[in-house]
Every structure is written in C-alpha cells, then in structure tokens.
Structure 1
Amino acid sequence: MPKVKTQYVCQSCGHVEVKWMGRCPGCGEWNTLVEETVSPRGAFSPSKARVVPRPILSIPAQSENRLSTGISECDFVLGGGVVPGSLVLIGGDPGIGKSTLLLQVSHAMAQSGHRVLYVSGEESAAQIRLRAERLGTVHSELFVLAETDLDAALEAALELKPRFLIVDSIQTVFRPGLASAPGSVAQVRECTGLLLRVAKAENMATFIVGHVTKDGVIAGPRMLEHMVDAVLYFEGDRHHMYRVLRAVKNRFGSTHELAVFEMRDDGLREIANPSELFLSEHRDMAPGSAVVCAMEGRRPLLLEVQALVAATSFGTPRRMTTGADVQRMNMLLAVLERRLGMQLGSCDAYVNIAGGVRVEEPAADLGIALALVASHRDRPLRPGVYIGEVGLTAEVRAVTRLSERIREARKLGFQRCIVPASQSAPEAVPDMEIVQVRSVQDAIDQAF
C-alpha cells in the first residue's frame, strides 16, 4: 500500500510546509497550519483539439448584455447589472443579511423570467422555504437544493440549466476527491476554481457567499478574491437597521461603489438617497458637528461628523474613532496643536461618523478638523458642507470631483460650501455660496 503523503497548509494565507509549525512563516498567524493529504495529480498531456492563438483584431467585438438583478441598487454596485458567465463573491459577517439579500435577488431574477438555482450548504430546503415565505420571495422559477457535495450540485445545475446559480456558502461545500475538510484552503480554492470553469463554460452567472474573518476579510486564501470577477462586501452593525453593499473589485465596472439598504422584518429595502438618510437627525447648532461629502465610487455621500473633545481623567489621553481612521485623527490633532496653537495634548478626543458608514477618504479631513475645533471651543459651526484634505503644514489641499460634491450638497438643501482654493474654481451652482480657503485657519475664520 503506497504511503500517504501529507502537508501542512495555513488556513489564513495558504502557505505550505512539510512539517507542523506553531506560527505560519507566510502571514505570521499562530496555530493556523492544518495537516492535509496530498492528492496525486496526473501529468500534463496536451489536448487533441489544440487552441490556436488569434490576433486581437480578428476577434469580433461584443457588447456586454447585462442582466438586471431586479434590485436597482445591486445593479448600481455591479456596474449596471450582472454579466452572464461572471462569478461574484459576496462576503460579510455572520447574520448581517447575505442570505436574505441573495434570496431577494433570486426572487427578482425569477420574476424576470430567469431560472434560478439556490444551493445551500447551511440550511435545509424547509428552512429556506420558511424564510422565503416570511420575505415573500416564493416563485415557481426559483429552485432550491440543500447539498454540500459540489459535484452533485453542479450535476443538478447542468441538468436544470439555470441562468443564475447561487452557492451559500463556499466554506460549506466540498469536493469528494479532496481529502481536506470543508472550509479548508484546498477545498475553498478547488471549489471556487470549479465554479469559475462551469460559469464560463455554461455562460451561467454565479454568486457565491464567503464568510469573513475577525479582521473583516474573506476567509480562505487571498487568491480567492483574485479568481472571481467581482467582490462585494455586505457591511453594517447587526444592532442597527442599515446595511451597506460595497464593491471592492469589479472587472466589468468601477470599484468602490456603494449601496445602502434598510433591514426590516420583511427583508431588505433599498435606499435611493443615502445622503438624506444619514443627515436625517443632523442638528445645525450642535457643537462638534460638521457635514462632509465623501465620494464612494461615482456616488457622493453627505455624512455627519461628530467630535467630542474633553479634558482627560487619566495620565494618557484617549483617542477613539467610529467610522474614521484613528491615525488620521491623531494627525489632525497634531496639526491643530502644532500649527494653530490649540492645547489638545491633555484632552480626550472622540470622532464618530453618524449612520455606521466608514470613511477613509482624505476629503473628510477638513470637516473632522473643524468638528474637533468646534467641540473644543464648545461653539457650533455655521451651516454648510466642509470639503478638503488637510496637510501637515495645515494647508487645505485639492480633492477630486468637487463639482459633483457641491451639487449633491445643494440637492440636500445646503447653501454654503467651504472648499480648497488650491484647485480650479468649481462651476457655479445656483443658490450656493462657495468659499475657497487655503489653510485650516482660514476655514476656522469662515466656519464660525
């Protein structure tokens, strides 16, 4: 009997070692190396029907025939709809609503006349029917298969020939030919590769659900995100009603697009105007509150920045953020103290982006800085929108798509914008006062 060969594979990054180690040399994580059996692979043999390279000019140009998901916000994030034959990965925390979103998408696709196969490795068919009854997503063209054997699921899909295939989730399905357990690096990589080949060969649009780790990334090897055509993250706090669908990769459209949904008892409801939602509880005369405009892909979002500066009760001041980068806030505090002479070294500082949205764009720097100043002075800012990046010398730097941000502010009823003076003058917007500033001190003079 031939000896079985084994190897140790890291469950975080896919690094392979011949012996067990406590810490992975590839990613530095502890206790992630798991023993797996090495499956013998046959030698490469060229196919009889050889593929001949063709000049690119001889390949006919074809336009993308996108298919609507039936949910306009999902179509917006995907770049206009689903491309047939594409493989889309949706990740998110457990219980955030990924299965609910895909069940609603399945129902909308079925209503459009497309056959849908929903393969679930986490729920039974009866459980899916109960959830579909609650959401009102029962349709004759929606087929359900509770199966974890991916080979059996794909055999059923090839017989049914659906236009859309949904696999929930990639960590629960497995291929019997591999000795690894479901959810391991080898299984996730092999199952995704097989789904990719079937999707391209059958021109079948495929959605797969991926769990995320405690760090907020898709569980499994990083190459999983490179194998698929689009990666969507479904984010939000389970204790709040709002969810954000964000595109971080899209081969058929722009990345960093964003859609907002509201979680209700009967499912997810799309929010057509997120800016109005996030500013619904904004108070103009509250000290420490400022309105900024951040670009999420092609969509400008007006958000409320709340800051609180108070004398510390401990030896070391606390600096905490929710929805903003804490290192960016520390830099802004250092600029305010060193360049403007504000005594903030002995103060606690807290910054919150209202609505549960995370902002990483530097264009929100000016609003965060002014909110910190307003809280420190205990004085409210003048009503308006504050746009600009702050440099280490306290200058206000240019941002992209300034005219779109100003138009979004006017649409929400604002009549004043403070913008950088370092870039060309934006186009005039009716009933909008545009104030250009060169430094944070100039913005403070205009804001109070």
Structure 2
Amino acid sequence: MAKTRTHYVCQNCGYSSPRFLGRCPNCGKWNSLVEEVEQGQLGKTVQPTTTLTGIVAKPQKIKEIDTQKTPRVKTRLNELNRVLGGGIVPGSLVLIGGDPGIGKSTLLLQVSGQLSVEGHSVLYVSGEESANQIKMRAQRLAVSGDNFYIYPETNMDSIRATVDNLQPEYVIIDSVQTMQATDVTSAIGSVAQIRAVTAQLMQIAKGKNITVFVVGHVTKGGVLAGPKILEHMVDTVLYFEGDLHHTYRILRSVKNRFGSTNELGIFEMNTEGLKEVPNPSEIFLEERLQDATGSAVVVSLEGTRPILVEIQALITPTVFGNAQRTATGLNRNRVSLIMAVLEKRANLLLQNQDAYLKAAGGVKLDEPAIDLAIAMAIASSYRDRGTQPTDAFVGEVGLTGEIRRVNRIEQRVAEAAKLGFKRIFVPKNNLQGWQTPTNIEVVGVTTLSEALKLALGH
C-alpha cells in the first residue's frame, strides 16, 4: 500500500526538512523551501543491486578487473579536446554551464554537426527550442549531417524510448532544467526533478556507453542552478565564460574525472559560430600600449597551458576617508595583501591611495604565481614609471617580502620566449635543476625590493 509523505526541499542547496522554514539552515537563503510530495511503497521486495551496466554487483579481485582503455574521440575543435583532457570519453556525462546567450547551444550544435559528418550518430534533445528554430541556427552555422537527429521533447520516458530505438552514440540535452521525470511529482526545474533527470541520464551514459552532453543554466551568482549534487554526479563540469559585449569566450574545466581541472579553451564568437583561438596569449597582449605605466605581463598557468596576460593597475590619491580597492579578474583580498607587503617591505605609501586592478582580456587569474606581476603593476602606477615592454614576471610574494618558487617554470619561460619577450623575472630558487633558454634572459630575484630595483630602477 502506497504511503505519501510531504517534505520541504531547498531549491538552492537541496536541504530537506519535514516542516516549512522561512530560511534554509544549510545555505541561509530565504524563501527557498518548496513543498514536495514523496510516495513510497510498503512491503516492496528488495531487488539485487546492479551496476550502471545492468550487471548484478558482486565483489571482484582488483587484478581480475578488465581495464581495457577505450580510445577518446577527437573533435575538430582542438580547444574543446584540450579542455576535455584529450578528447571525448565514450560513455561519459558532461555538464556545460554558462550565462544565457553565451554560446552553449551554439558550441554543442557545431560539435554535433562535426561528429555527424564523421559518421557518428547524434541525438539533439531540445526542451527550449522547436525543431524549426534549431534548423535555422544550424543553417546559419552551416551544420548538417545524415546521422544528426533533432528531437524537441522534455519527457524523460519518451527520450529514453527514443534512445533505445535510435541507439545514438551521442546525446545532447538542452537543458537539464527543462526535462521532466514522470515518476517525480515536483515541478519542472525543482531539486527533485533535476536529481532524478540526472540519474536517468547517467544510466543512459554508463549503461549504453553513450556520451551525454548536458546544458545547465547559471544563476546570478555565477554557479550552476540546481542542487550541488548535479555537479557531483556528472563526470566533467565545464563553465562557458565571457562577456556578451566581447567576442571571446572561455571554456573552463572545473571538474574532470578523465583529465586535469582548470584547463582553459579560448573561442571567438562570430557570425559563423565559434572559432577556436590557438594562441590566446597574442589575443590578450595585442592591444597593450608600449610605454604605459601600471602594466605588467604575467605568465599564468591555466591547467596545462601557460598563458601570458597583462595585469593593469591604476593608483590614484583617495578623495574619501578610506581608500578603495577594486579588482576585476583578480582576487580582491590578494590585491590588498600585496599592497600591504609593498607598503611594509618596499616603502610605498599606499594607505591613502585608491587602487583599481584588472586582468586584461576578461580572463580570471587565481594562482600564487601572479603576485609579482601584481606588485610590479601597482609600483609602476604609483611611481609613474613604466616597465619594459619585453619584460614578464612570475613569482609568489610572501608576507616578509620574499619571492617564493612556483611550479612548471620551464613551460612559463618557454611561452614568454616564444612570444618575443627578452627578459623574465622568476624566483631565484627556481633557477636550479634545469637549463635556461638562450633566447631570453632569466633574472632570478630573492626579494620584492630587489625585483622593483631591477625592473623599475628604484
């Protein structure tokens, strides 16, 4: 006999409560708990547990488990292959999130057309657009293929039946918030629905060895809408970032079970769709002024790729009681820490100065190796003395003013040399154990004061 139970679930974090609460005790959000009805069955026979492939689970010796490696599938977009860890892993579940209109559907439509042309069967399931709308966009992007199927549907039972009938190699779900699991009574887009839909998509991916790409919406805070369990269940989470007012898009990997995280891919949006940018360092540096003050170039490492980015700083006397600290693309707390070190260890009076910093090009940097470039940009703007246009800076700044070593220094120096830089400042402890190249001068520095004296002449 069925037993009905009512509970309240937070639509932000998935917290469940037996009674209504105005504020979620887990995430602290107000008015986010929604009533959901859960039905269960008493006296139900427990079936043997099976794996995602349908085989009854049983213990196995680790040496008897077959580890035959399945080759990855390469797409024509090398930037996407890099972010995925070398290509598409068959049977994987990939989640792509991003702001509305950023180009998620365009990217997946292009990839679907490329895979279809190469002989793979693709099923594109759309819960937001009709087949005619998708066809119009495909014509604009010159996307076609004999094995490319468009299926406007939101019911998961119909989608699973269609997958069983067509047996495609790739399934695109656009988007997960519009899909509906019929055995869940909650509203479409609720926590329970997203959790149930994702579980069914995982069974499709793992049980039938079908690669599933899922599109997810992003909230105003920049995180994927829905419960956090959505990111835990999938194999790979990709964020599609960028500014709607600029043509460049950044595809960033924040989770990847089959490759490195924080991998970066750069695309350019034009009338023909997304076009990959093979050398993003040139893009970030092409508009840099030669003799500008408050500018320093850093070789940042995003995943396995070294990227040269210009860090700009503007230091002006404050007109308010408290000095302002504003950072775009950089961590504001890191900027404040480096300014405190400059004031204490380099004798720069910055407590009555407003500071505005940004990473040019719209990229977001968050690694310790950018500290030295931030300090150089701040000191350059404060002293009104520019750095050399052929200088680059890499190093972590400690609280006592020391320059600490960073990882993978060889690749950073090689990238700077490839783009024509003549000198690069690195931590002195990083000079040991490798052969410095001859086409670039590698300067090892120990303290922040030493680096300022060599680079700015003071």
TM-score, normalisation: structure 2? 0.95
| Compared CA separation, residues 91 and 250, structure 1 to 2 (3 A) | same
| Compared CA separation, residues 354 and 153, structure 1 to 2 (3 A) | same
- Please give the residue correspondences for 1:245-394 in structure 2 after superposition, counting only pairs within 5 Å: 245-382=251-388, 383-394=390-401
Q: Structure 2: where are the runs of 5+ without partners? A: 50-54
1:414 and 2:415 are equivalent in the alignment: no
Deviation at 1:408, TM superposition (A): 0.2
Preserved contact between residue 117 and residue 146 of structure 2 (Cα < 8 Å): no
Show the counterpart of 1:447. 455
1:77 and 2:78 are equivalent in the alignment: no
- Count of matched residue positions in the alignment of Structure 1 and Structure 2: 448
| Compared CA separation, residues 344 and 50, structure 1 to 2 (3 A) | closer
Show the counterpart of 1:39. 39
Deviation at 1:430, TM superposition (A): 2.0
Which amino acid is 1:26 matched to? N
Show the counterpart of 1:235. 241
| Compared CA separation, residues 156 and 392, structure 1 to 2 (3 A) | same
For 1:44 and 1:366, the matched residues in 2 are separated by 64
| Compared CA separation, residues 253 and 41, structure 1 to 2 (3 A) | farther
Deviation readout 1:146-189 (Å, 9 max, x if unpaired): 01111111211110111000000000001112110111000000
4+ residue segments displaced more than 6 Å: none
Show the counterpart of 2:189. 183
Which amino acid is 1:17 matched to? S
Deviation readout 1:186-245 (Å, 9 max, x if unpaired): 000010001001111111000001111122111111111111111111011111111000
- Please give the residue correspondences for 1:113-124 in structure 2 after superposition, counting only pairs within 5 Å: 113-124=119-130
Deviation at 1:292, TM superposition (A): 0.2
Deviation readout 1:358-389 (Å, 9 max, x if unpaired): 00011010001110000001110123110000
1:89 and 2:90 are equivalent in the alignment: no
Which amino acid is 1:23 matched to? R
Preserved contact between residue 3 and residue 41 of structure 2 (Cα < 8 Å): no
Deviation at 1:47, TM superposition (A): 3.1
Which amino acid is 2:194 matched to? V
For 2:387 and 2:341, the matched residues in 1 are separated by 20
SS of equivalent to 2:371: helix
Show the counterpart of 2:162. 156
Show the counterpart of 1:63. 69
Show the counterpart of 2:209. 203
RMSD over equivalenced CA pairs, Å? 1.5
Deviation at 1:39, TM superposition (A): 2.4
Show the counterpart of 2:13. 13
Deviation readout 1:313-358 (Å, 9 max, x if unpaired): 2112111111100000000111111222211111110111010000
Among 411, 426, 429, the alignment partner of 1:404 is 411
Which amino acid is 1:47 matched to? P
For 2:58 and 2:348, the matched residues in 1 are separated by 70
For 2:47 and 2:158, the matched residues in 1 are separated by 28
Deviation readout 1:284-330 (Å, 9 max, x if unpaired): 31100110011011100000001000011211211111110000000
SS of equivalent to 2:8: strand
SS of equivalent to 2:39: coil
Which amino acid is 1:174 matched to? Q
SS of equivalent to 2:176: coil
Q: Structure 1: where are the runs of 5+ without partners? A: none
Deviation at 1:400, TM superposition (A): 0.4
Deviation at 1:15, TM superposition (A): 0.3
For 2:124 and 2:334, the matched residues in 1 are separated by 43
1:23 and 2:11 are equivalent in the alignment: no
Name the % identity: 50
